[in-house]
């Protein structure tokens, strides 16, 4: 979480957050108040403050996590290693599909986050949606405990802390839109220079040939478990007949 006077950035893991954080620290006109990587907002936002969150299509997010683990990096890799599951990290499509299957199993939830299992079972929720909600809700665990099983989709638009979303797939364009909507918050010249074409950062090279084209049954389970993110940000990727339920 990166907090400025008048803006908060909710830096969900594996959503381009390294780039966004660097952009905001270089281009925001307002003084920085606090920064704690991937942490929750634990204070009251000032009236009128802009909430910004970054998101990523969940299948791509799983692949990014897997490729990061191929390099022996990341908290998830070390958690799985500690529980004897690290052998799944092989640079093959079959291994990636097995990785997704493991992460989608409710019984794996305690390995992913200490507080994830009851939420995963209650809402039939996947890890990427859980990570998103940890940052996008105030007091997320208490809020999720209080909500009824079927109450999250309707409550989420009311409870979320953000008003602006940055899609990892369109990061530069979405940042340009953010600057255009809130020119008082940004040094426009610095923003234009920062968003000029440049090499990508924080990128793993192993597993570059792997694909998010998963077998249909596995993809159906992923869509079900990560339903909130798909409906909110990627309704065009839902099967026909489901996108009209977007929250």
Q: Say what percent of the chain tops pLDDT 90.
A: 80
- What's the pTM? 0.92
Q: What is the pLDDT of residues 110-140, one digit of tens each?
A: 988 889 999 999 999 999 999 999 999 999 9
> Quick one: 171 and 148 in the same domain?
no
Q: What is the pLDDT of residues 156-171, one digit of tens each?
A: 999 999 999 999 999 9
User: Is residue 238 scored above 70 in pLDDT?
Assistant: yes
Residue 245 binned pLDDT confidence (cut-offs 50, 70, 90): very low
- State both tokens at 206: 């192993």
Q: What is the pLDDT of residue 200?
A: 63
> Quick one: 138 and 226 in the same domain?
yes
Residues of the domain holding 19: 2-56+161-194
* Averaged pLDDT for residues 18-45: 94
CA pseudo-torsion sign 54, 209, 217, 98: negative
Task: Report yes or no on 245 lying in a domain.
Answer: no
CA pseudo-torsion sign 90, 218, 155, 117: negative
Task: Report yes or no on 199 lying in a domain.
Answer: no
* Averaged pLDDT for residues 63-89: 91
User: Is residue 203 scored above 80 in pLDDT?
Assistant: no
Please return the burial class of 103, using the count of CB atoms within 10 Å of its CB with bins 0-12, 13-18 and 19+: buried
> Quick one: 168 and 186 in the same domain?
yes
> Quick one: 72 and 147 in the same domain?
yes
| Alpha-carbon distance values, 144 to 21, 114, 116, 150 (Å) | 27, 15, 11, 11
Q: What is the pLDDT of residue 45?
A: 84
Are β-strands 164-167 and 50-55 bridged in parallel, bridged antiparallel, or unpaired? parallel
Task: Report yes or no on 103 lying in a domain.
Answer: yes
> Quick one: 42 and 75 in the same domain?
no
* Averaged pLDDT for residues 14-19: 96
> Quick one: 169 and 108 in the same domain?
no
Q: What is the pLDDT of residue 204?
A: 56
The number of domains in the chain is 2
Q: What is the pLDDT of residue 202?
A: 54
> Quick one: 10 and 66 in the same domain?
no
Residue 86 binned pLDDT confidence (cut-offs 50, 70, 90): confident
> Quick one: 92 and 172 in the same domain?
no
CA pseudo-torsion sign 177, 26, 183, 132: positive
């Amino acid at each position: 979480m990166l907090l400025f006077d008048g803006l908060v950035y909710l830096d969900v893991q594996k959503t381009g957050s390294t780039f966004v954080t660097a952009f905001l620290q270089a281009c925001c006109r307002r003084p920085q108040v606090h920064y704690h990587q991937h942490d929750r907002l634990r204070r009251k936002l000032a009236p009128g403050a802009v909430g910004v969150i970054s998101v990523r299509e969940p299948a791509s997010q799983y692949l990014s996590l897997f490729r990061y683990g191929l390099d022996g990096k990341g908290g998830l890799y070390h958690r799985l290693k500690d529980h004897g599951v690290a052998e799944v990290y092989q640079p093959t499509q079959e291994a990636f599909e097995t990785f997704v299957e493991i992460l989608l199993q409710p019984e794996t939830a305690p390995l992913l986050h200490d507080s994830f299992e009851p939420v995963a079972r209650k809402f039939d929720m996947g890890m990427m949606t859980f990570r998103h909600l940890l940052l996008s809700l105030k007091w997320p665990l208490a809020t999720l405990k209080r909500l009824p099983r079927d109450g999250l989709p309707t409550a989420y638009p009311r409870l979320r802390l953000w008003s602006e979303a940055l899609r990892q797939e369109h990061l530069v364009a979405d940042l340009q839109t953010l600057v255009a909507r809130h020119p008082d918050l940004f040094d426009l010249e610095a923003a234009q220079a920062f968003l000029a074409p440049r090499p990508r950062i924080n990128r793993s090279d192993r597993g570059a040939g792997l694909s998010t084209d998963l077998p249909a049954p596995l993809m159906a389970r992923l869509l079900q478990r990560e339903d909130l993110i798909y409906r909110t940000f990627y309704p065009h990727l839902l099967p026909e007949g489901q996108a009209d339920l977007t929250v």
